[in-house]
Structure 1
Amino acid sequence: MMKTSADTNVHHLQPLSSTIRFIAYGVHGFLDEIVFTALWQLVFEAFDPRLIGYTSLYSFIIYGTGSFIIERLYLRLQEKDVPCIVRVFIYTLIAYAVELSSGLVLRQFDACPWDYSDRSLNFMGLITLTYAPGWALLGYWQEVFSGFLLSLRQPVKIKQN
Structure 2
Amino acid sequence: MPTKAKESGAVSRPLPAWLRFYLYGMHGLLDEIVFTALFDFFFEPEGNAMLKGYSTLFSFLIYGSCSFVVERVYVYLYLRHGVQWYIRWPLYLCILYTWEFTFGLVLRQFDACSWDYSHYPLNVMGLITLVYAPAWLVLVVYQDVLAHFLLSLKVTTDVHMEGLLHKVD
Any residues of structure 2 matched to 1:41-80 within 5 Å, and which?
41-45=40-44, 46-78=46-78, 79-80=80-81
Task: Using structure 2 for the length normalisation, give the TM-score.
Answer: 0.85
For 1:4, the equivalent position in structure 2 comes to: none
RMSD (Å), alpha carbons: 1.5
Q: Secondary structure at the match of 2:159?
A: strand
Offset, 1:69: 0.6
Any residues of structure 2 matched to 1:74-113 within 5 Å, and which?
74-78=74-78, 79-113=80-114
- Percent of aligned positions that are identical: 49
Q: For residues 23 and 44 of structure 1, what CA distance do their matches in structure 2 show?
A: 31
Offset, 1:77: 1.4
For 1:126, the equivalent position in structure 2 comes to: 127
Q: For residues 69 and 24 of structure 2, what CA distance do their matches in structure 1 show?
A: 11
* Residue range with higher mean Cα deviation, 32-41 or 130-139: 130-139
Q: Deviations over 1:57-115 (max 9, x none)?
A: 00000000000011001111113222212211011001101101100110111000000
Offset, 1:132: 1.1
Q: Secondary structure at the match of 1:13?
A: strand
Q: For residues 124 and 136 of structure 1, what CA distance do their matches in structure 2 show?
A: 21
Q: Counting helix residues as a fraction of each chain, which structure ranks higher?
A: 1
Task: Using structure 1 for the length normalisation, give the TM-score.
Answer: 0.89
For 1:3, the equivalent position in structure 2 comes to: none
Q: For residues 131 and 19 of structure 1, what CA distance do their matches in structure 2 show?
A: 29
Offset, 1:159: 5.6
Q: Deviations over 1:28-71 (max 9, x none)?
A: 00000000000001111133221110000000000000000110
For 2:166, the equivalent position in structure 1 comes to: none
Q: For residues 111 and 158 of structure 2, what CA distance do their matches in structure 1 show?
A: 46
For this pair of structures, how many residues does the alignment match?
Answer: 152
Q: Which has the higher contact order (CA 8 A, sep 6+)?
A: 1
